[in-house]
A and B are shown apart, each in its own frame.
Chain A
Amino acid sequence: MKDHNLRRIYIFFLVIFAVIAVIALAAVRSINRAQASTDWVNHTYATIYELETTLSYIFAGDGSVRTYVITNNARDLAEARESFANMSDHFQTAKALLRDNPDATARLLQIEQLAVQREKLARALLTAHQASQPEEIKRLLQADNGSSELAEIKRGLGKLRGEQMNLVGEQDHASYLQMQTTRWIVGIGVMIDLVLFAGVAWLIRDDLAARTRLQTTLEDANSQLEDKVSERTRELTESNEHLTVENLERQWAAQSLEHQLRYNLQIVNSVGDLVFVMTKALNLTRINPAVTHRTGFEEKVLLGKDLDAVIHLTATEDKENGRTVVLHSLKQGRDMYAQPAVMRDQQGHETPVRFNLFPLRDGNKVVGAVLILPSQSDLPRPNPNARATLIFP
Chain B
Amino acid sequence: MSKTILHLDDEADIRELLSAFLNTKGYRVLSVSSPREALETVRHESVDLLITDLQLDEADGLETITQLKTIRPGIPVIILTGVLMMPSVAQETLGQHVACFLEKTTPLASILKEIQRVLGA
Interface residues of A (CB under 8 A from B): 241, 244-245, 248-249, 251-253, 255-257, 259-260, 263, 389-392
Contacts and interface: CB of A to CB of B under 8 A. Distances in A.
Nearest to A267: B84
A263 B84 contact: yes
B108 A391 contact: no
B89 interface: yes
Contact of B86 (A252, A259, A389): A389
Interface stretch (B16-24, B30-38, B40-48, B71-79): B16-24
Contact of A390 (B14, B17, B21, B84): B84
B77 to A, nearest CB: 19
Interface of B: 13-14, 17-18, 20-21, 24, 82-86, 89, 103-109
Instruction: Among A253, A257, A259, A390, find the residue whose CB has the most chain B CB atoms closer than 10 A.
Output: A259
A259 B9 CA distance: 13
Instruction: Among B84, B89, B103, B106, find the residue whose CB has the most chain A CB atoms closer than 10 A.
Output: B84
Given A391-B86, A391-B89, A392-B83, A259 B104 contact: yes
Contacts of B85: 391-392
A24 to B, nearest CB: 81
B13 A253 contact: no
Interface of A is mostly: helix
A241 B25 CA distance: 10
B21 A245 contact: yes
Contacts, number: 50
A121 to B, nearest CB: 140
A7 B33 CA distance: 80
A129 to B, nearest CB: 145
A205 B30 CA distance: 67
Contacts of B86: 389, 391
B105 A260 contact: yes
B24 A241 contact: yes
B82 A245 contact: no
Contacts of B82: 256, 259-260, 263
A259 B104 CA distance: 8
B24 A245 contact: yes
A244 B105 CA distance: 19
A248 B84 CA distance: 22
B28 to A, nearest CB: 17
